[in-house]
Amino acid sequence: RRKGLWLRLRKILLCVLGLYVAIPFLVKLCPGIQAKLIFLNFVRIPYFIDLKKPQDQGLNHTCNYYLQPEEDVTIGVWHTVPAVWWRNAQGKDQMWYEDTLASNHPIVLYLHGNAGTRGGDHRVELYKVLSSLGYHVVTFDYRGWGDSAGTPSEQGMTYDALHVFDWIKARSGDNPVYIWGHSLGTGVATNLVRRLCERETPPDALILESPFTNIREEAKSHPFSVIYRYFPGFDWFFLDPITSSGIKFANDENVKHISCSLLILHAEDDPVVPFQLGRKLYNIAAPSRSFRDFKVQFIPFHSDLGYRHKYIYKSPELPRILREFLGKSEQERHH
Which residues, including other chains, have CB under 8 Å from residue 334's CB and lie 6 or more apart? none
Catalytic residue among 61, 105, 163, 309: 309
Q: Which domains does the chain have, with CATH numbers?
A: 1-326 (3.40.50.1820)
Q: What is the SS3 assignment for 296?
A: strand
Q: What is the mean pLDDT of residues 90-94?
A: 93
Q: What is the mean pLDDT of residues 97-111?
A: 96
Catalytic residue among 204, 270, 290, 329: 270
Mean pLDDT lowest for which of 38-47, 250-259, 287-296, 326-335? 326-335
Digit-coded pLDDT (tens) for 237-269: 889 998 888 899 999 999 999 999 999 999 999
Checking if the pLDDT of 79 tops 80, the result is: yes
Phi-psi region of 58 (alpha: psi -120 to 50; beta: other; left: phi over 0): left
Checking if the pLDDT of 333 tops 60, the result is: no
Measure the CA–CA gap between 147 and 162, rounded to whole angstroms.
19
Checking if the pLDDT of 328 tops 70, the result is: no
Closest CA to 277 of 227, 228, 225, 209: 209
Binned at pLDDT 50, 70 and 90, residue 331 comes out as low
Active site residue 183: yes
Q: Which pLDDT score is estimated for 153?
A: 95
Q: What is the mean pLDDT of residues 16-20?
A: 91
pTM: 0.94
First CA to last CA distance, the chain: 83
Binned at pLDDT 50, 70 and 90, residue 332 comes out as low
Active site residue 56: no
Catalytic residue among 131, 183, 245, 329: 183
Q: Which pLDDT score is estimated for 228?
A: 87
Residue 95 CA neighbour count, 13 Å, CB half: 0
Which residues, including other chains, have CB under 8 Å from residue 255's CB and lie 6 or more apart? 190, 262, 281, 284, 285, 288, 290, 291
